[in-house]
Amino acid sequence: MKTYPSHKFWFIVGSQLLYGPGTLEQVSAHARIMTDFFNQSDAIPAAVIQPGIATSPEDIVALFRKANADPECAGIITWMHTFSPSKMWIQGLMENQRPLLHLHTQFNRDIPWDSIDMDFMNLNQSAHGDREHGFIHARLRTARKVVVGYWQDPEVLARIGAWMRAAVAFADGKALRVARLGDNMREVAVTEGNKVSAQIQFGWQVNGYGVSEVAQRLSSVTEKEIDAAMQAYEARYDIAPEVRVNESAMRKVRAQAAIECALRRFLAETGAKALTTTFEDLAGLPQLPGLAVQHLMEEGFGFGAEGDWKTAALVRAMKVMSEGLLGGTSFMEDYTYHLEPGNEMVLGAHMLEVCPSIAAARPRIEVHPLSIGGKDDPARLVFDARSGTAVAATVLDFGDSFRLVVNEVEAVPLPHSMPKLPVARALWKPLPDFKGALELWLLAGGAHHTSFSYAVTAEMLEDWARMAGTECLLIGRQTSVPELRRQLERERLYRR
C-alpha cells in the first residue's frame, strides 16, 4: 500500500518510430520492468503508471492532455530511452499543467563490454536522447526537476520520492481551504499578505470567519462529545497530577476539549484543512485554543497563530509532504536565544500551539494562566521536542512576489529542565552556523513564525517551491554565507 493511495505519477518514456516495432517493443518492456520496480520500492510513495511509449507529436500531446484531465495524476516523469526528437514534444510540454521530473537514467547499469554492438547502442541512447530532451525544456523554460543516475540507485529513488511528496502537497494546496478565525494580530506586518495572489500562486483558498462561528457551535457540544475528546487525550497524553486532583483545572481541560469539538464541527462544515486563530479575537470562547489546536495539528491540520494564514497553509503542505515519515511537523516560533560563544542556540516555542508530533516523549496536559488575552487559563500540552536534523520554513509576501525561506537546523536535547516554562519547546542550532544563518534569515526577510519539521527535507521544499513558481532561498549546511549575502544584495538592487 502506497502512502498516497489517491495520487498517481505517469512515467512517459520517449522514443520515435524510426527504430521499427522490434525496438519499440523492447523499450516498452523495459519501461514496464522499471514501472514495476518503482511500484515495489518503499522509497516511492505513490503508484507509477506507464501510459505508453511516446513516439510522435500527436501521441505526446494526447498523453499530456490526458494527464491534465486526470485529477489523480499528481506529476509526470519523462525519460528518453532512445532518441526522441524534441520538437515533437513542444506542444505537449507547453500544454502540460502537471509537475514534471526529467529522469536521466539508462535501462542497463553497466556497459556490456563483451557483447556490446551497434544494436545495443541504438537501443540504449539515453545519454544523448535525454540531452535533446533537456534542451527543449531549457528552451521552453519549463520548471522541472532533473534526477540523474541508475534507476535502482537508492539516492535516485529518494530524490524521485522527495519530488513526489512535494507534488502531492502541491496538489493538496490547489484544493486547500484555510479558515481564518479573526484577522491577524494588529500592526504585525509579516503575517499579512495578499490572499488573491496566494491563491493564484499556491491554490490556497483563504477566507475569514468570525470567531463567533466557533462560539455558536460550542454551545451545542454535548457532555458525551467532551467525554470522547477527553478519552482521546488520555490515550495519547498524560494529565499532570496537579491538574487531575484540581477540579477547577480539570474543568478547564474539559472546556478546551469542548473548543476542540466545536472547531472540528466548524472545520468539517467549511471543508478547511488549515486554520488560524488570534488571541486578540476570542469573543465567546472561554480560552485561547491551545490543547485543541495541538491535537488538530497532530491529525494533519495546518495551523498558524495570530492570523498567520501563510504559515497555516505551509504547515498543512508540510504535513502532507511528510505523510508516513517519522519526525513530525509543527507550527513554531523563534522565541529566545542562548548566546554562549560557540554554543549559540534558538529556543523555539509558542504561547501554546506546538504540535505534539514533534515531542521527544509523551506530552503532558497542564493548565496555566496566559499572560495576554484576558481569558481563562488555557489547557495546553507541554513537552520537549526531539533532537535531530530539522527544517524551519517561512513563506513571505513581498507585494509583487512570494519567497520561501528554508533553514536547515540541528535540534539538540535540552541541556537543562525548564520547570517554570509552561509550554512545549524545541532547541536548535541553525546551519551553517548561528551568526551566518540568522544574518541571512534577516536579510531574506524571514518571519518569526515557521513550519518546523523533522521529516520534511530542504529538497522537498525546493521541489515544492519550483512547482508553485516561487523563489526558494535555502540557508543550509552547504550554504556559503558571503555568497548568499551577495545574492540577496544583487536581488535587492534588481528589485529596486
Q: For residues 333 and 408, which CB has a smaller minimum distance to Mn ion in the complex?
A: 333
Q: Is 332 in the site for Mn ion (CB under 5 A)?
A: no
Nearer to Mn ion, 226 or 447 (CB): 447
Residue count (the chain)? 496
Judged by CB under 5 A, the stretch of 6-14, 102-110, 280-288, 302-310 that binds Mn ion is 302-310
Peptide bond into 432 cis (omega under 30): yes
Per CB under 5 A, the list member of 80, 239, 258, 305 interacting with Mn ion is 305
> Toward Mn ion, which CB reaches closer, 93 or 305?
305
Stretch that binds Mn ion, among 257-265, 281-289, 306-314, 435-443 (CB under 5 A): 306-314
333 lies in the site for Mn ion, by CB under 5 A: yes
As measured in angstroms, the least distance from the Cβ of 346 to Mn ion is: 14
Instruction: Looking at residues 67 to 106 of the shown chain, list those that interact with Mn ion (rule: CB under 5 A).
Output: none
With 0-12 CB in 10 A as exposed, 13-18 as middle and 19+ as buried, what is 208? middle
Quote the CA–CA distance of 113 and 123 in Å, as a whole number. Answer: 16
Buried b / exposed e over 49-75, threshold 16 CB at 10 Å, is: ebbebbbeeebbbebbeebeeeebbbb
Nearest-approach distance from CB 183 to Mn ion, in angstroms: 14
In the complex, the smallest distance separating the C-beta of residue 58 from Mn ion, rounded to whole angstroms, is 55
Q: What distance in Å separates the CA atoms of residue 53 and residue 397, rounded to the nearest whole number?
A: 42
Task: Provide the sign of the torsion angle of the four alpha carbons 173, 324, 154, 9, taken in this order.
Answer: negative
Task: Considering only residues 176 through 235, tell me which ones interact with Mn ion, judged by CB under 5 A.
Answer: none
As measured in angstroms, the least distance from the Cβ of 335 to Mn ion is 9
Based on CB atoms, which residue is closest to Mn ion, 233 or 452? 452
Shorter beta-carbon distance to Mn ion: residue 191 or 357: 191
Helices (H), 382-480: 434-443, 458-468
Shortest CA distance to 474 belongs to which of 392, 389, 388?
A: 392
Q: Does 358 interact with Mn ion (rule: CB under 5 A)?
A: no
Q: Is 423 in the site for Mn ion (CB under 5 A)?
A: no
Cell of 460: 522537498
Give the whole-angstrom CA distance, residue 183 versus residue 177.
16
| # of chain residues touching Mn ion (CB under 5 A) | 3
| Residue 392 C-beta: closest distance to Mn ion, Å | 14
- Residues that bind Mn ion in the complex, under the rule CB under 5 A: 305-306, 333
